[in-house]
Amino acid sequence: PAFAPPPPGLARLIGRDAAAVTALLGPPSLDRREGPARQLQFIRPLCILDVFLYPGTGGALAVRTAAARRPDGGRIDAGACLQLLAPG
C-alpha cells in the first residue's frame, strides 16, 4: 500500500530500520513489539519520541510514523521533538 508523505520534520526517520534510528537517537528507553509492529520510545529531558516501525513489502520493519509529547504530557510536534533530540 502507498503511504502518505512523511509529516514535517520526520523525513530523516521515515523508511529507516531500527538500526538507523538508534544510530541517530541512541538506545531507546523502550523497545516493544506488538504483533508485526515495533515501537521504539526515546525518553529524554526535552521530549518523549515514539517511533513506530511496520513491515514493508519485503517484510522488513521500517519507520512509518512517529509521535511525541513533552515529559509533563504537553503537546509537541514529532518533527520538532526529533530536531531537539538530533539536530541537523
**Cβ(88)–Cβ(23) under 8 Å?**
no
Residue 57 CB contacts under 8 Å (≥ 6 apart), including other chains = none
Q: How confident is the model at residue 6 (pLDDT cuts 50, 70, 90)?
A: low
Average pLDDT value for residue range 21-34: 97
Residue 15 CB contacts under 8 Å (≥ 6 apart), including other chains = 62, 63
Cell numbers that stand for 61 in this block: 520493519
In a domain, 68, yes or no: yes
In angstroms, the Cα distances linking 70 to 15, 33, 77 are: 24, 23, 10
Work out the mean pLDDT of the chain and round it to a whole number. 92
In a domain, 3, yes or no: no
Tell me the CATH number at 24. 2.20.25
Domain that holds residue 29: 18-85
In a domain, 38, yes or no: yes
Q: How many domains does the chain have?
A: 1
pLDDT of residue 3: 57
In a domain, 59, yes or no: yes
User: The pTM is what?
Assistant: 0.89
pLDDT of residue 77: 94
pLDDT of residue 80: 95
Is residue 82 scored above 90 in pLDDT? yes
